[in-house]
Amino acid sequence: MSVKATDSPARQAKETGLFIPELVYFEPAALDYPKGQRILSWVKERGLPYQMTTSHNRITNLPGETELEQYKVAKRTLVVGIRKTLKFDTSKPSAEYALPLATGCMGHCHYCYLQTTLGAKPYIRVYVNTDDIWEATRKYIEERAPEITRFEAACTSDPIGLEHLTGSLAEAIWFMADQPLGRLRFVTKYHHVDSLLPLRHNGHTRIRFSVNADYVIRSFEPATSRFHERIEAAGKIGRAGYPLGFIIAPIIWYDGWQDGYAELLARLANALPEEATRDLTFELIQHRYTKTAKAVIEKRYPKSKLEMDEAKRKKKWGRWGQHKYVYPDEQAEALREYITERIFEHFPAARLEYFT
Ligand code: SF4
């Protein structure tokens, strides 16, 4: 079945698997940039409704009777603006700085921390003044020379899911290829990587896929690419010579978790070309939540099967000034040990960066 640009956004999205916004806002100044103009043409070609806004931080009155309906609309709303703050956030433990290419995500992962960090602004903001962003990046690299400086491009969004709209990730990869002391990394739950394959990356960009047991993906990660799609995309990235990695997160304790995570690692091993396994990293993050996050999740995904029972968890002081709930030590240790063993069974040369 072929998809026409004039088909409804929902149909285009269904057929292509790509994010097609249903409502688009532009800051007037964004149209002074070629990227802003390109996005406007793309929006017009598809007949998507759009309007102007004074600030990408002030989108109000989204359609919808209830807060939940407005949230769903916000997740399908794109705002095209200028990134004014060029002071980058820190991004421990995986990088020194967060690279601000976009804010917000079209995915509906029940546990996603953006639900609390973005608060009342869950719509998707992309920034068109990327030259300013590269200039700021260059300064951060110079400040730390001769140390290497790593930038994480997926702290506040999933940039692969937006790449067909912005092309910003491709620019970031080109930019970083020429930075002897700069490295780029990002993580994704989407498989639309074809436009990145021919780029000159110089080994300076590590692309990581967020993967999980099939049960977790099916139960808690709607509106993201499926397990087999992510694995296939990882194979392509490996063959294109990019350093590759996997984040297994959130690791969830459920009936049958051993089989689920064993299957995950076995399927990864089957799918990856040998050359992709020589410089492979794994990051492991057990499921955690705060009481604030729990309240938001229960409101937005009321039927979620995500277990958030304080009686079954260990309370830990989090760096955001709130308690978080993780698995008790015995369970966390069992998860860590079992999954680590499966990783090294299939990928003896892999590097485990952390379990948290
Ligand atoms: Fe959040 Fe990532 Fe899911 Fe998007 S894909 S909703 S950023 S966890």
Cβ atoms 309, 274 nearer than 8 A: no
The pLDDT of 14-35, averaged and rounded, is 92
For residue 319, pLDDT beyond 80: no
Instruction: Check if 122 has its Cβ closer than 6 Å to any atom of ligand 1.
Output: no
Distance 326 CA to ligand 1 centre (A): 20
What tokens does 61 get?
A: 């009155």
What span, in angstroms and rounded, lies between the C-alpha atoms of 217 and 224?
9
Give 1's pLDDT tier (boundaries 50, 70, 90): very low
pLDDT at 318 over 90: no
- Distance (Å) from CA 353 to ligand 1 centroid: 21
Place of tokens 């001769």: 146
pLDDT tens figures, 330-355: 999 999 999 999 999 999 999 999 99
Q: Is residue 120 very low, low, confident or very high in pLDDT (cuts 50, 70, 90)?
A: confident
Q: Which residues contact 275 (CB under 8 A, 6 or more apart)?
A: 238, 239, 241
Give the residue from 132, 125, 124 showing the smallest Cα distance to 171: 132
**pLDDT at residue 321 greater than cutoff 90:** no
Rounded to whole angstroms, what are the CA distances from 174 to 65, 140, 166, 191, 195? 44, 17, 14, 20, 13
CB of residue 107 inside a 6 A radius of ligand 1: yes
Work out the average pLDDT over 240-264.
Answer: 97
Interval 27-75: pLDDT, tens: 999 999 999 999 999 999 999 999 999 876 778 778 888 989 999 999 9
Average pLDDT on 107-118 reads 92
Taking the alpha carbons at both ends of the chain, their separation in whole angstroms is 44
State the pLDDT at residue 234: 94
Mutate to test the pocket of ligand 1, among 75, 76, 109 (most ligand atoms within 8 A of CB): 109
Q: Tell me the per-residue pLDDT of 162-221, one tens digit each, with 9 for 90 and over.
A: 999 999 999 999 999 999 999 999 999 999 999 999 999 999 999 999 999 999 999 999
* 59 pocket-lining for ligand 1 (C-beta < 6 Å): no
Cβ of 48 less than 6 Å from ligand 1: no
Q: Whose CA is nearest to atom 5 of ligand 1?
A: 107
Map the chain to HEC letters.
CCCCCCCCHHHHHHHHCCCCCCEEEECHHHHHCHHHHHHHHHHHHCCCCEEECCCCCCCCCCCCCCHHHHHHHHCCEEEEECCCCCCCCECCCCCCEECCCEEECCCCCCCCCHHHHCCCCCCEEEECCHHHHHHHHHHHHHHHCCCCEEEECCCCECHHHHHHHHCHHHHHHHHHHCCCCEEEEEEECCCCCHHHCCCCCCCCEEEEEEECCHHHHHHHCCCCCCHHHHHHHHHHHHHCCCCEEEEEEEECCCCCHHHHHHHHHHHHHHHCCHHHHCCEEEEEEECCECHHHHHHHHHHCCCCCCCCCHHHCEEEECCCCCEEEECCHHHHHHHHHHHHHHHHHHCCCCEEEEEC
Query: Cα 142 from chain centroid?
Result: 27
Q: State the closest ligand 1 atom to the C-alpha of 113, by its place in the atom list counted from 1.
A: 1
304 C-alpha to center of ligand 1: Å? 16
Chain centre distance of CA 72:
18
Question: According to the model, what pLDDT value does residue 17 have?
Answer: 79
Ligand 1 mean position, distance from CA 180 (Å) = 31
Please state, in angstroms and rounded to a whole number, the distance separating the CA atoms of residues 255 and 241: 37
- From the number of C-beta atoms within 10 Å of its C-beta (0-12, 13-18, 19+), residue 40 rates as middle
pLDDT recorded at residue 170: 98
- For the chain, what's the residue count? 356
* pLDDT, mean over the chain: 93
The pTM of this model reads 0.93
Residue 57 CA to residue 234 CA, distance in Å, equals: 34
317 vs 329, residue with greater confidence: 329
Q: What is the mean pLDDT of residues 116-133?
A: 93
Q: What is the pLDDT of residue 322?
A: 84
Residue 337: C-alpha distances to residues 95, 261, 284, 292, 343 (Å): 25, 12, 11, 30, 10
Q: Is the CB of 224 under 6 A from ligand 1?
A: yes
* Alpha-carbon torsion, ordered 343, 347, 353, 356, to 10 deg: -10
Overall average pLDDT of the 2-27 stretch: 78
> Which range scores top for mean pLDDT: 9-13, 175-179, 319-323?
175-179
pLDDT in tens, 237-249: 999 999 999 999 9
What's the confidence (pLDDT) of residue 6? 62
Ligand 1: distance of its center to the CA of 32 in Å?
Answer: 30
Model pLDDT for residues 264-297, shown as the tens digit of each residue: 999 999 989 898 898 999 999 999 999 999 999 9
